[in-house]
Amino acid sequence: MPRLLVVHHTPSPAMQALLEAVREGAALVDEVELTVRPALSAGAADLLAADGVLLGTPANIGYMSGALKHFFDTVYYPCLDATVGLPYGVYVHGNDDTAGALAAIERITKGLRWKQVAAPLGLTGAPDAAAREACRELAATVAISL
């Protein structure tokens, strides 16, 4: 069964609501095994065992969280050759601006030569029903692509 890895930084109730929606969306796809790892504890072994990855982070000071950056710093060279073409998706939540974080993530995933299989999701403000639904759809889209 294909394995979907969610690598997330979830430091607040808003981020937790989005992560729960991601879990629900992935669960809509029967034939996918879900692994969820906080970005500060995820490593190369998690990534190498996955067939696709969904990244989730708050926007912090115009960039991705240090936690998700730490994940990339950890896996970049160990996984550079082995994860070419890896399907991925991403969600970023911020108070008012997610563009810098999304651009930085895109730059790194381009370097890794991963394949974006769902539109990047930038969300701002308190996560309402539409935001949670967008996360469900994102997770289901990445899961189906596997």
87: contact with ligand FMN by CB under 6 A = no
79: contact with ligand FMN by CB under 6 A = no
Q: How far is CA 61 from its chain centroid? A: 19
10: contact with ligand FMN by CB under 6 A = no
User: Alpha-carbon distance 144 to 111, whole Å?
Assistant: 24
Looking at the Cβ atoms of 57 and 141, the one nearer to ligand FMN is 57
Tell the smallest beta-carbon distance from residue 56 to ligand FMN (Å): 10
Looking at the Cβ atoms of 7 and 86, the one nearer to ligand FMN is 7
Q: Is 78 in a helix, a strand, or coil?
A: helix
Tell the smallest beta-carbon distance from residue 65 to ligand FMN (Å): 8
Residues in binding contact with ligand FMN, number by CB under 6 A: 14
15: contact with ligand FMN by CB under 6 A = yes
| Own/partner pairs, 127-131, CB within 8 angstroms, 24+ separation | 127/14, 127/17, 127/18, 127/21, 127/93, 131/18, 131/21
Of residues 20-59, those binding ligand FMN (CB under 6 A): 58-59
Which residue stretches of the chain are H helix?
13-27, 44-48, 66-79, 99-112, 129-145
Q: What residues make contact with ligand FMN under the rule CB under 6 A?
A: 12-15, 58-62, 93-97
